[in-house]
Chains A and B, each alone.
Chain A
Amino acid sequence: MSAYLIAITILTLIYVLLALGLTLQFGLTGLINFGHVGFFAIGAYTSALLTLNGWPVGVGIVAAAVAAMLPALPIGYISLRLRDDYFAIVTLAFSEVVRIVVTNAREWTSGTQGLPGIARLYASLNGAASEWAVLGTILAVTLLAIWMITRIARSPFGRLIQAIRDNEVAVKALGKDPAWFKIQVLAVGAALAGIAGAFYAHYITYIVPDQFVPLVTFYAWMAITLGGASRISGAVVGSAILMVLLEGSRFVHDFLPMISDSAMASVRIGVVGLLLILCIVWRPQGLTGKRGDA
């Protein structure tokens, strides 16, 4: 049981890293990034390929952050002049392009067969000790990310990105270029997603393109919507709730044996969807939010 809980906690922390990027991008800056999973996939594949070619895992994780950040620059440059809804479409398309590229670049990624045998973190430790060490490492990185985003949110930089969210034209009128701030915000969120992807690859040890479908992006969106989009604690609380719902609904099956296994997968997503709707109706600012939050 404890192994199961550790596994769930690790996956939750990976979602926290993804959700924190969206808190920064959407909650604070107002950017609608519907392609978050693209940066996650780039991180996962970068670290997996490097370590499969003999590089140490540490190098893989750092490279994952950098590789995920790189496309943030051209995407920002090309599309930040677009209206919000078009930006959402461009990012969604980007993440699908990433998925299709890793599906088809077979000589590198083995396409739909996926990459098995990715190195585990702390592989030299035995069973439980290794699990705890992985959990500790991801927890430390997540706490560092929370500290960093909190620091950004409370700084003059954070003040300005919230000003951009509230009224971009006024920011221009005050002599500041919103585009550069948005590109930086996009890059920071992308780096976090890249790191999350690397941890995911090294934890699951097997990646295929099907793990990087847009649903992952929308799980992260559900997390910040449930938790509260403009609060950092919202990313943490929301990810935890999401994971409890997704995993918890597994056990519902014991009480509802008449539902088939394949139908159960849909029921679980249905439950999350219903909760999301209830949350929007009764608590649009999320669980951690205050009335009047952006």
Chain B
Amino acid sequence: MSLDIANITKNFGGMRVLDGVSLSVPTGSLFGLIGPNGAGKSTLFAAISGFQKQETGEVRLDGTRIDALTPHARARAGLVRTFQVPREFGHLTVRENLCAAAPNQTGESLLGLFFRPARVAREEAEIAAEAEEIMQRLRLTQVADQPARLLSGGQKKLLELGRALMLKPRFILLDEPFAGVNPVLIAEIAERIRDLNATGIGFLIIEHDLEALTRLTPYIAVLDRGRIIAEGAPDAVLADVQVREAYLGGAV
């Protein structure tokens, strides 16, 4: 019961961006992935979530291969991702952003919309209640009716997390949840992630901010030039000579 990535390879032209990456992320874990710029972190996320097709390798969710599925099918299977640069629905309100993410809506089919209005209304009420609960949990209630494009960078990160939660996922892939976020909100976002993890949702988190990440995740892996060069508890990993070389260019 986990997210297992085996031997993923990805080339961009003649460049090997991922070179046989394997990772095993247990269900319900809080797993950090670090690495210097250009290490292949976002590409690995894209391969796991289906936005980039890998050359070789397998992705399994709870033992089932999902690497041939479309991105939307993987999300429905319970593996939801967020983006480094937030992709909010700018002209929709925060509340509408969340409601739009709810799965299996009768009102999203034209037939359902015109021929089953009572059912659509009932589902909408349920979805609105879920969205309300998530907004409260993520402290977004004050901005519920604001167009999402007007939110701050940190609020947009929270909104993306909230949208992912609407799918009731087993795993969430967070791409740099702290990038462009002010320090106060970083602590807040970390707190929310910890709360959610306590409810059983697994997280795989890419992050540049080493300090913030190591405080959050008990287990990290290091990606460098397309390979995993170390994994384990943060202290041990950061003490690793190879890791220090990758980050500091061998000056230590």
Contact = CB atoms under 8 A, between A and B. Distances in A.
Contacts of A163: 89, 92, 97, 100
A173 B86 CA distance: 12
Contacts of B103: 175
Contacts of B83: 169-170, 173
B156 to A, nearest CB: 11
A173 B76 CA distance: 9
A174 B101 contact: yes
Given A151-B114, A159-B99, A170 B88 contact: yes
A156 B70 CA distance: 23
Nearest to A181: B108
Contacts of A155: 107, 113, 120
Nearest to A169: B87
Given A167-B89, A170-B87, A177-B70, A157 B101 contact: no
**B96, B100, B114, B147 pick with most chain A CB within 10 angstroms:** B100
B5 to A, nearest CB: 18
B51 A156 contact: no
Given A184-B110, A188-B110, A159 B100 contact: yes
A167 B51 CA distance: 14
A75 interface: no
A292 B113 contact: no
Given A163-B100, A170-B88, A175 B110 contact: no
Interface string A164-207: 01110111111111000100100010000000000000000000
**A160, A292, A294 pick with most chain B CB within 10 angstroms:** A160
**A167, A170, A174, A177 pick with most chain B CB within 10 angstroms:** A174
Interface in B98-139: 99-101, 103, 105-110, 113-114, 120, 123-124, 127
A159 to B, nearest CB: 5
A286 B158 CA distance: 33
A30 to B, nearest CB: 10
B214 interface: no
B96 A159 contact: yes
A174 B91 contact: no
A85 interface: no
Contact of B107 (A156, A167, A172, A293): A156
Interface string A10-42: 000000000000000000000000000000000
B90 A167 contact: yes
Contacts of B91: 162, 165-166, 230, 292-294
A294 B147 CA distance: 11
B100 A173 contact: no
Interface in A134-162: 148, 151-152, 155-157, 159-160, 162
Contacts of A188: 110
**B108, B164, B167 pick with most chain A CB within 10 angstroms:** B108
A174 B100 contact: yes
Contacts of A173: 49, 51, 71-72, 75, 80-83, 87
B163 interface: yes
Contact of A175 (B76, B89, B96, B109): B76
A172 B71 contact: yes
A151 B80 contact: no
Nearest to A184: B110
Given A173-B49, A173-B71, A184-B110, A156 B80 contact: no
Contacts of B73: 175
6 contacts: A152-B110, A162-B91, A166-B91, A166-B92, A172-B72, A172-B75
Interface of B: 49, 51, 70-73, 75-76, 80-83, 87-92, 96-97, 99-101, 103, 105-110, 113-114, 120, 123-124, 127, 147, 160, 163-164, 166-167
Given A175-B73, A181-B108, 20 more contacts: A152-B110, A152-B113, A156-B99, A156-B105, A156-B113, A159-B99, A162-B92, A166-B92, A169-B51, A170-B160, A172-B72, A173-B51, A173-B71, A173-B75, A174-B167, A175-B72, A175-B76, A175-B103, A188-B110, A230-B91
Which 10 residue pairs of A and B lie closest in terms of their CB atoms, listed nearest first? A156-B107, A175-B75, A170-B87, A166-B89, A175-B76, A163-B89, A167-B87, A163-B100, A172-B71, A294-B91
